[in-house]
């Protein structure tokens, strides 16, 4: 049995369960339900799972699109990009990127940015990146196009909608907002991918814009706040705004490059202290909390055999063990992620080659 959802009094196709559908929603304590696989991590901390959605919010020109370009790139290359790790299942490797705001030329630049961040040619299409430019369409048409793409691409693992506000007419209309958020929940549950979307903040406060923002904050698995540094406008900071799991450590990035500008981690950044809750203990930073000599000692343990290559999990374990030995304390998952990102930024370790899951190798020519 099918029906329609109304968006601003306009019919939008929307499947509904038949009269027996309630049985599919019924739970039992005698059934084992599998945990949703984690596919998105920020600085090593869970931020997104299959069958759920997350969001980025921020004021205009805070570099939100640059931020999500790194997320898409991490999915394509299966490696750390900026502070993101995206591990998609083998049968769900496609990234669907939807832009509702920018011109086709700007969208093409974003596409090239993603490919460059993924270590791929910015002038050659990757069939695993499907990019839709929907600026010229109405909200109803955008929804229909996105829905058709999802139905036609069975191997989607990550969807990014840059501009969810453009899926409705009035961002303050409760009915429209509820309809769009329900669509996000329906899509993620039906197709079992992770969806990340982008929304502006209010100009006058820190809340996500409109009734849509309220619904988004209530339903999203994780909401990230992207904001410009108050003292250095060249830097943007990404922090957890709302999360169902543990909060990820914030990170800062800046934009570098000319023809195809890309985001780059700002090492040693001094973050403002949290406004509430946690004590003001010194935060671990792989650039400033570990000396060059300590890095070199740990690397001497990890790469005692200079020709050794590591897979992802083995390298994380080797870093955890070696740095724990040198620092004289346990090294948590977040710290391991930060150390690896630092070593890659410094070109101490490299991952070369075209295949996904490239091995980690020591670069003897690095300059600290």
| pLDDT tens digits for range 334-349 | 788 889 888 887 788 8
CB 112 within 8 A of CB 123: yes
Of the three residues 229, 246, 265, the one that is the final residue of a domain is 265
Answer whether residue 324 is part of any domain. yes
**51 shares a domain with 193:** yes
DSSP labels, 38-90: EEEEETTEEEEETT-EEEEEE-TTS-HHHHHHHHHHHHHHTS-BTTEEE---T
Q: Are residues 103 and 174 in the same domain?
A: yes
Q: What is the CATH number for 315?
A: 1.10.10
Q: What is the mean pLDDT of residues 4-8?
A: 50
pLDDT at 352: 65
**Residue 141: pLDDT over 90:** yes
Give the model's pLDDT for residue 115. Answer: 94
Give a yes or no: residue 61 inside a domain: yes
What value does the mean pLDDT take over residues 119-128?
93
Candidates 271, 350, 206, 308; CA nearest to 43 is 271
* Exposure string over 110-122, b if 16+ CB within 10 A, otherwise e: bbbbbbbbbbbeb
Q: What is the pLDDT of residues 15-52, one digit of tens each?
A: 555 556 777 788 898 888 888 899 999 998 999 999 99
Residue whose pair of structure tokens reads 């969807």 in the numeric block: 159
Asked whether residue 7 is assigned to any structural domain, the reply reads no
At residue 212 the predicted structure's pLDDT band, cuts being 50, 70 and 90, is confident
Whether residues 236 and 321 fall in one domain: no
Judged against a pLDDT cut of 90, whether residue 147 lies above it is answered with yes
pLDDT over 70 (residue 272): no
* Residue 286 domain flag: no
- 224 with 328, same domain: the answer is no
3-state secondary structure of 200: strand
What was the pLDDT predicted at 20? 65
Give the C-alpha separation, 84 to 67, whole Å.
10
- Domain limits for position 77: 28-265
How many whole angstroms separate alpha carbon 52 and alpha carbon 224?
Answer: 15
Q: Are residues 74 and 161 in the same domain?
A: yes
pTM over cut 0.85: no
Nearest alpha carbon to residue 158 among 127, 183, 191: 191
Comparing 72-86, 179-193, 258-272, the range with the smallest average pLDDT is: 258-272
What's 273's DSSP letter? P
Are 240 and 310 contained in the same domain? no
């Amino acid at each position: 049995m099918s029906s329609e959802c109304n968006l601003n009094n306009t019919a939008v196709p929307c499947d509904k369960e038949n009269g027996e559908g309630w049985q599919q929603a019924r739970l039992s304590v005698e059934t084992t339900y599998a945990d949703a696989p984690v596919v998105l991590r920020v600085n090593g901390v869970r931020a997104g799972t299959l069958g759920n959605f997350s969001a980025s919010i921020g004021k205009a020109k805070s570099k939100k699109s640059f931020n999500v370009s790194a997320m898409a790139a991490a999915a394509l290359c299966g490696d750390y990009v900026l502070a993101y790790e995206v591990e998609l299942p083998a049968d769900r490797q496609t990234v669907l990127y939807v832009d509702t705001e920018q011109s086709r030329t700007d969208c093409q630049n974003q596409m090239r940015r993603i490919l460059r961040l993924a270590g791929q040619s910015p002038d050659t299409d990757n069939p695993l990146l499907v990019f839709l430019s929907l600026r010229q369409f109405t909200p109803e048409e955008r929804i229909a196009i996105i829905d058709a793409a999802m139905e036609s691409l069975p191997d989607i693992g990550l969807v990014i909608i840059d501009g969810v506000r453009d899926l409705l007419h009035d961002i303050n209309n409760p009915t429209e907002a509820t309809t769009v958020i329900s669509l996000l929940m329906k899509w993620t549950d039906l197709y079992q991918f992770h969806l990340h979307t982008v929304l502006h903040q209010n100009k006058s406060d820190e809340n996500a814009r409109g009734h849509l923002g309220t619904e988004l904050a209530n339903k999203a698995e994780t909401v990230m706040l992207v904001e410009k540094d108050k003292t250095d406008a060249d830097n943007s900071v990404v922090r957890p705004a709302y999360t169902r799991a543990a909060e990820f450590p914030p990170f800062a990035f800046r934009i570098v490059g000319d023809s195809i500008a890309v985001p780059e981690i700002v090492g040693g950044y001094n973050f403002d202290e949290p406004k509430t809750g946690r004590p003001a203990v010194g935060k671990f930073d792989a650039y400033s909390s570990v000396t060059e000599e300590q890095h070199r000692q740990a690397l001497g343990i990890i790469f005692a055999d200079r020709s050794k290559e590591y897979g992802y999990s083995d390298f994380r374990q080797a870093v955890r063990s070696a740095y724990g030995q040198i620092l004289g304390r346990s090294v948590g998952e977040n710290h391991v992620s930060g150390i690896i990102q630092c070593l890659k930024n410094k070109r101490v370790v490299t991952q070369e080659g075209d295949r996904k899951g490239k091995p980690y190798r020591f670069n003897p020519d690095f300059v600290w």
